[in-house]
Amino acid sequence: MAGRLNDDFLRRAERSIVGGVNSPVRAFRAVGIPPLFAVRGKGPYIYDADGRRYIDHLMSWGAIILGHAPPAVEAAIVRATRRGTAYGLSTPIEAELAEVIKSAFPSIELLRLVNSGTEAVMSAVRLARGYTGRSKVVKFEGCYHGHSDGLLARAGSGLATFGLPDSAGVLPSFAAETLVARYNDLESVRAICDEQGDKIACILVEPVAGNMGVVPARPDFLAGLRQACDRIGALLIFDEVITGFRVAWGGAQELYGIRADLTTLGKIIGGGLPVGAFGGRREIMERLAPLGDVYQAGTLAGNPVVASAGKAVLELLRKDKPYEALNLAAERLTQAVAASADSAGMPVWIGRVGSMFTVFFTEGPVTDYESARRANPELYADFFRAMLGSNARVERSEGVLLPPSQWEAAFLGTAHLRNDIVETTAAHAAAALEALRPPDGPVPRPSRARGAI
Ligand code: PMP
């Protein structure tokens, strides 16, 4: 709930920073309240400027999986920082992080570290074009791959939140190189491949969609994309910026048993610091400069503080293997939310894979962008505010922070596995859903609230 200091920080930020935010969804426009300013986090909790505590299910948009300020990561960052923060030369830690990533992703023989997910995907697409000598990219409606020109065509995430079909400033000639197919619809892919197969450099996909809300890929969908790429000689790029080290140690590729030609990573591999990576088959990656003719570079790429933080996180994940526990906790939470929605007569559809999930305010099924867009963003905004505790009908001192948009993913991390956090979130959700029940009027027909895995 925004209070005095939050409001002061916002007014100050608005004087110098566009819209007061450095990334549009942070403005909370879709949920109708002023944005929160975070000042601190510990474990599963995030604290706003007015000292309110929230159970955090935004988790830096999936970038942190161990919770806030885990001691091992803090220690790694401090140790690295004491030796200097940047050299512009290679450092030993970069290969150490790369080796851990390779050990999790058998499809990655060589990789390169970059500074963001946007950069990773942009570079992977350039490499795919350079390698194949072809120009077109197939992407899917509602998938988001960062904000590079050409990939903003019918993208999810902030564009879905703000209802923008595409961004101004992207030249039509750029966007024309992007062919948009329908998620979970192999027919739409086949039609594009039949028509333009010899011009297609790559098929780019979120193997679990997170940016139209969580929409699991049907297993035959990903296998079909693999076959389509093999048939037309295009590269299959899995954008695992969210799913990498999230849905399984080896990402969606491990979960679904599909090998991508190129993989993009971000978020978790930087331990909460800015990062991205792309990698894949040796013969493709060797086309990158300095070995090959596809140029890509970065002053701060592979930064030693970032790589130290990322390696600390991945080593803990490798040691503790929390994925089954995360999956079970998220299943417990989403089943409880579905049951509460049923008893409050609120039709919801829950999309979930492992520890990423979305409560869609629609009867569903939600299988692609079109069905995701049928969800009711006003109901979601009410739910968001009630969870936060800024709804007059739900009064309490502690809130729950969800993503501030219907079309984004919520997350559970290892810090949520302790101390009944999941049960507390579920109890808050039950109260929030109950508060959404129309005060008068007939009780709506109970839905088949569903949890999909
Ligand atoms: N790909 C996917 C699947 C993403 O979810 C995101 C960001 N949420 C990106 C790429 C872009 O990453 P970044 O914001 O680090 O540029």
Examine the residue annotation and report whether 131 is marked as an active-site residue of this protein: no
Examine the residue annotation and report whether 239 is marked as an active-site residue of this protein: yes
Burial of 26 (0-12, 13-18, 19+ CB in 10 A): middle
Chain segment 95-142, per-residue pLDDT in tens = 999 999 999 999 999 999 999 999 999 999 999 999 999 999 999 999
Cα separation values, 89 from 109, 229, 293, Å = 23, 37, 21
Residue 390 has pLDDT above 80, yes or no: no
Could you tell me the strand order of the sheet in which 450-452 lies?
410-411, 356-360, 349-353, 450-452
- Distance, in Å, from the CA atom of 405 to the CA atom of 158, rounded to the nearest integer, reads 8
Burial of 273 (0-12, 13-18, 19+ CB in 10 A): middle
CATH entry 3.40.640.10 includes domain 71-319: yes
Looking at the chain, which residues constitute the CATH 3.40.640.10 domain(s)? Answer: 71-319
Cα separation values, 115 from 98, 109, 190, 388, Å = 14, 20, 34, 32
Looking at the chain, which residues constitute the CATH 3.90.1150.10 domain(s)? Answer: 4-68+322-435
CB 179 within 8 A of CB 139: yes
Whether 145 lines ligand 1, by a CB cut-off of 6 Å, is yes
Ligand 1 atom with the shortest distance to the CA of 240: 3
Provide the percentage of residues in the chain whose pLDDT is more than 70. Answer: 93
Q: Given this model, what pLDDT does residue 396 score?
A: 55
Q: Given this model, what pLDDT does residue 452 score?
A: 39
Q: In this structure, how many other beta carbons lie within 10 angstroms of the beta carbon of residue 9? A: 20
Residue whose CA is at the smallest distance from ligand 1 atom 14: 117
Question: CA quadruple 206, 310, 283, 148: dihedral positive or negative?
Answer: positive
Comparing 398 with 233, the larger pLDDT belongs to 233
Residue 167 has pLDDT above 60, yes or no: yes
Cα separation values, 74 from 70, 270, 311, Å = 6, 12, 12
Chain segment 27-76, per-residue pLDDT in tens = 999 999 999 999 999 999 999 999 999 999 999 999 999 999 999 999 99
Ligand 1 atom with the shortest distance to the CA of 239: 3
Using pLDDT thresholds of 50, 70 and 90, give the confidence band for residue 164. low
Examine the residue annotation and report whether 382 is marked as an active-site residue of this protein: no
Bridge partners of residue 202, in order along the sequence: 137, 235
Ligand 1: centre distance to CA 360 (Å): 21
Whether 117 lines ligand 1, by a CB cut-off of 6 Å, is yes
Burial of 78 (0-12, 13-18, 19+ CB in 10 A): exposed
Fold topology of 4-68+322-435: Aspartate Aminotransferase, domain 1 (3.90.1150)
- Decide the pairing of beta strands 450-452 and 349-353: parallel
Listed range (90-104, 211-225, 385-399) with the worst mean pLDDT: 385-399
Ligand 1: centre distance to CA 410 (Å): 15
- Distance, in Å, from the CA atom of 306 to the CA atom of 423, rounded to the nearest integer, reads 34
- What is the pLDDT of the chain when averaged over all its residues? 93
Chain segment 290-300, per-residue pLDDT in tens = 999 999 999 99
